[in-house]
């Protein structure tokens, strides 16, 4: 469903990805782990075209996005938009719209982008909020919610667009520890329902629990990948072992 091949990404002088590749099958849950600055966020941002890249290609459900120097392609902008409609994204900083209520945050894009009826969307949003026990916050503004609540709303907001896959970029990294659980359980529920997901996280227990496959990043490279038990119990590389022992304290 998501296929990244030969990806090259430069940040100025910094040549981060030198021909990176990643395949994600429909229904698969891939978890990205690795040290800070290794390129997990950048890969997710390249997939939704929030970040341009200089070589290789990203194909989402048959839609191709090319590097930025081939932008003149007349379909470029259209393809990016189609990719974004297929892939939802959840950010570390939640990024809820502060001037809109929870309900408005959720229905804004489906009503404006997909042209769906507001009444239907509202009903649907309310039932989604109910599932995560936030139905009493429908009319609240983001600033009135806790971090955990905001992130759960952000997940609902992305789901309201009915994406075929979800990308999570460290969804719990800016939360107080007591709120991590409530967000992870929402994601776990989603994954168990079969949502294709790519998740960057530092929560190793969670990674091991939800992942079909773990992908280990280091310095812009995928150094090792495999089933959770293989990676956590039998890592092949010294670098992976070093990373794991660092995060496990």
Partner 1 sequence: MSLLVQLALMLCMAAPALPESGPIEKIKARGHLLWGSDAEGGAPYVFPDPKDPSRLIGFEVDLAEAIARELGVTARQSQNAWDSLIPALERGDFDMVINGIEITPQRQEKALFSLPYYIYSEQLVVRKDNKDINSIEDLRGKKVGTLSGTVAQEILTKKEGIDIRIYPGQVQPYEDLAIGRIDAVLLDLAIAAYYGETNPKVKYTGQPVGEGHYGIAVRKEDKDLKEAIDKVIARLSSTGELRKIYEKWDLWDNNQERLAEKVKAAEGYVGIDESKKAPLYTFLPLLAKGAGITILISSVSMLFAIILGLVLTIARLYGTALLSRLATAYIEIYRGTPLLIQLYILYYGLPNIGISLSPIIAAFLGLGMNYAAYEAELYRAGICAVPKGQMEAALSLGMSKALAVRRIILPQALRIALPGVTNDFIALFKDSSLVSIIAMVELTKTYSILAASTLRFFEFGLVVALLYLLMSYPLSLLARRLEKRLKGERK
Q: Which of residues 34-53 bind Mg ion (CB under 5 A)?
A: 41
222, interface contact from ligand ATP, partner 1, Mg ion, none, CB < 5-8 Å by kind:
none
Question: Distances from the Cα of 240 to the Cαs of 41, 226, 233, in angstroms?
Answer: 19, 12, 11
Q: Which of residues 10-29 bind ligand ATP (CB under 6 A)?
A: 11, 14, 16
- Using CB under 5 A as the binding criterion, the count of chain residues that bind Mg ion stands at 1
Nearer to partner 1, 124 or 240 (CB): 124
Q: Cα–Cα–Cα angle for 164, 165, 166, nearest 5°?
A: 135
36, interface contact from ligand ATP, Mg ion, partner 1, none, CB < 5-8 Å by kind:
ligand ATP
Question: Distances from the Cα of 81 to the Cαs of 110, 114, 163, 212, in angstroms?
Answer: 14, 12, 12, 28
Q: Provide φ and ψ at 57, rounded to 5°.
A: -150, 160
Q: Does 175 bind ligand ATP (CB under 6 A)?
A: no
Q: Does 201 bind Mg ion (CB under 5 A)?
A: no
User: Tokens at residue 216, please?
Assistant: 């280990």
158, interface contact from partner 1, Mg ion, ligand ATP, none, CB < 5-8 Å by kind:
partner 1
Which contiguous run of DSSP H or E holds residue 190? helix 177-192
Q: Does 67 bind ligand ATP (CB under 6 A)?
A: no
16, interface contact from ligand ATP, partner 1, Mg ion, none, CB < 5-8 Å by kind:
ligand ATP
CB of 85: closest distance to partner 1 in angstroms?
A: 5
How far does Cα 102 stand from its chain's mean position? 20
Q: Using CB under 8 A as the criterion, which residues of the chain lie in contact with partner 1 when the complex forms?
A: 48, 50, 81, 84-85, 87-89, 91, 93, 95-99, 108-109, 112-114, 141, 143-144, 154, 157-158, 161
Q: Does 36 bind ligand ATP (CB under 6 A)?
A: yes
Question: For residues 70 and 136, what is the distance between their CA atoms, to the nearest angstrom?
Answer: 48
Q: Report DSSP state, residue 136.
A: G
Name the burial class of residue 248, with classes exposed (0-12), middle (13-18) and buried (19+) by CB atoms within 10 angstroms of its CB: exposed
Which parts of this chain interact with ligand ATP (CB under 6 A)?
A: 11, 14, 16, 36-42, 170
């Amino acid at each position: 469903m998501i296929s990244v091949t030969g990806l090259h990404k430069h940040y100025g002088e910094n040549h981060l990805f030198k021909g990176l590749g990643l395949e994600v099958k429909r229904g698969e849950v891939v978890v990205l782990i690795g040290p800070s600055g290794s390129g997990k966020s950048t890969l997710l941002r390249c997939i939704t075209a929030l970040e341009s890249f200089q070589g290789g290609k990203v194909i989402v459900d048959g839609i191709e996005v090319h590097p930025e120097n081939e932008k003149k392609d007349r379909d470029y902008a259209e393809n990016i938009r189609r990719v974004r409609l297929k892939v939802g994204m959840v950010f570390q900083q939640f990024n809820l719209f502060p001037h809109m209520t929870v309900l408005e945050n959720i229905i804004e894009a489906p009503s404006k982008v997909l042209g769906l009826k507001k009444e239907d969307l509202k009903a649907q949003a309310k039932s989604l909020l109910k599932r995560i026990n936030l139905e009493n916050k429908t009319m609240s503004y983001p600033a009135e919610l806790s971090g955990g609540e905001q992130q759960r709303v952000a997940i609902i907001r992305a789901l309201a667009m009915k994406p075929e896959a979800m990308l999570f970029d460290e969804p719990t990294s800016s939360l107080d520890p007591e709120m991590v659980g409530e967000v992870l359980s929402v994601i776990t529920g989603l994954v168990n329902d079969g949502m294709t997901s790519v998740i960057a996280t530092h929560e190793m227990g969670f990674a091991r629990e939800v992942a079909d496959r773990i992908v280990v990043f280091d310095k812009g490279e995928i150094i090792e990948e495999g089933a959770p038990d293989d990676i956590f119990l039998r890592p092949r590389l010294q670098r992976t072992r070093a990373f794991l022992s660092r995060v496990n304290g």
